[in-house]
Structure 1
């Protein structure tokens, strides 16, 4: 979901867009193509979003970028996050992780303190961690596989302690395999799989099911960026928002 619009030198003033347990709210096998409620993810480069148009296009949920690392807050977050809520979408907040900058706990707290909380109001998804290839340098942020796994546990456990929910994890199978050694220890978090293809393909080892799938980086859903699906029914999406697998 990540789209790099500036080099790191400029990231404090104009950074990025979104680039990832519970298991999915359906019993479909992981390789099945989801056909559930459509969603989108947005960040600062989308600017002020016309949420009425988004809803009218059939979108049911959204993830909104709140933070990056411990140094950046999306200046459009309030319009995007509250706007989605105001038209009746289920929405959640996410952070783009930079594990080379600070600890997992530090970045988790920064997310929760800047819009990434959770409540069982039927409209709020648990916060999400966007963890993927480093757009600024080494793919795995200079961390060993063991160090990355430790960083991830630090983030996940902090979010759980702060919100009562395990964060959704947005990632790609290739990155997860390379940078965590295909670690299988994060099944308490729901998987948001990034794979721009006709099917989800092989999942990372932590998951038997995917909950969300980003299947394209552009398409007809407004505002024209990432195209996403929930793996289940509308009732399943609501149940996941409210904390029920």
Structure 2
């Protein structure tokens, strides 16, 4: 199946919008988790294997810095979606290799920082809306409630799509420029580098867990899963 540029980008943009809005302002049905949004994006753009790999590698990083309350971490959701779209673009309709998948994820993760900046922008814009709403209500403009709520949602929509555009656009330009040098190196070391991402996420998660004996519980859970896999 030949991959065309526009359907891939539009399909990725749709997933970026749905997952990005689920991340904070709408729903919060956990569609924003890399383990969910990356495979779904892979299905949309025809790279399911890459989506599953990206979701597994990025999930623990996302869990280590959750977007809860006033906390605004880097947007690992858009990084995951963007990484899968980059895989589809680099593969050109072929099956993407493990090295290419890791390469695209390593390109996308640093660009997740732009999501933090754009979400701060959206929140600053929305901070002005309550005063505007009060002024409209004083003039008995009841319909302004709906319009101003919609305006707040539009700000988050622009932040989501802006982050996706930067991740995919900058990732494509930088990735194409560095591909001849970086991809052969990643091809040789992709297994230990890929293994390090979940380990880093697990380390951050353990450091932030406010649970008594969290390290003991984590090790016991890991050994239980390992034993179950060995028995089965």
Q: Work out whether the TM-score is over 0.5.
A: no
Higher relative contact order (CA 8 A, sep 6+): 1
Task: Give the structure with the higher percent helix.
Answer: 2
TM-score by length of 1: 0.24
